[in-house]
Structure 1
């Protein structure tokens, strides 16, 4: 995926999972990290995501299928809006 030279905050939010999974190509990763240097809000968002992943990973929580489906639907609706 090739991104514009400068990323908007919305793009950072959409790419944060790929960034954390080390799935961005080197050029896009550099652009992502460059944005974080100048945007405290996105840098904080990334740290919040890391903390959430750490906490959720240790919880061993299994959601009921209906709740999981509702959450995924809500996330997908938000993402496409």
Structure 2
């Protein structure tokens, strides 16, 4: 897996929805790439921070809309 592929699949990884074959490639890449390990760490920190801010303030429909917008933006 390349760094670009890892960036493109990181959301699925964090959600636990990455297919097994891709998961193995993702984790193998992390073993050899300091930059991607750092990127994953930053993403985990960002997600945790956003969860702590958003969980109490957003209703489920608003949260779902934001997630859908993010996924649409990601697909480009």
Change (3 A) 1:42 1:79: farther
Structure 1 distance, partners of 2:49, 2:6, is 22
Per residue, is there more helix in 1 or in 2? 2
CA distance in 1, matches of 2:22, 2:34: 19
The CA distance in 2 between the partners of 1:48 and 1:31, in whole Å, is 20
TM-score (norm 2): 0.71
Change (3 A) 1:23 1:41: same
Aligned to 2:39: 45
Q: Quote how far apart the aligned CAs of 1:79 are.
A: 6.4
Aligned pairs for 1:1-81 (under 5 A) are: 7-60=1-54, 76=73, 80=76
Structure 1 gaps, min length 5: 1-6, 63-68
* Pairwise CA RMSD: 2.4
Q: Scaled by the length of structure 1, what TM-score is found?
A: 0.67
Which residue number corresponds to residue 65 of structure 1?
A: none
Question: Per-residue deviation at 1:25?
Answer: 1.5
Name the CA distance, whole Å, in 2 between partners of 1:18 and 1:41.
19
Q: Please say which structure displays the higher CA radius of gyration.
A: 1
* Residues in 1 aligned to 2:19 and 2:53: alpha-carbon distance in whole angstroms: 31
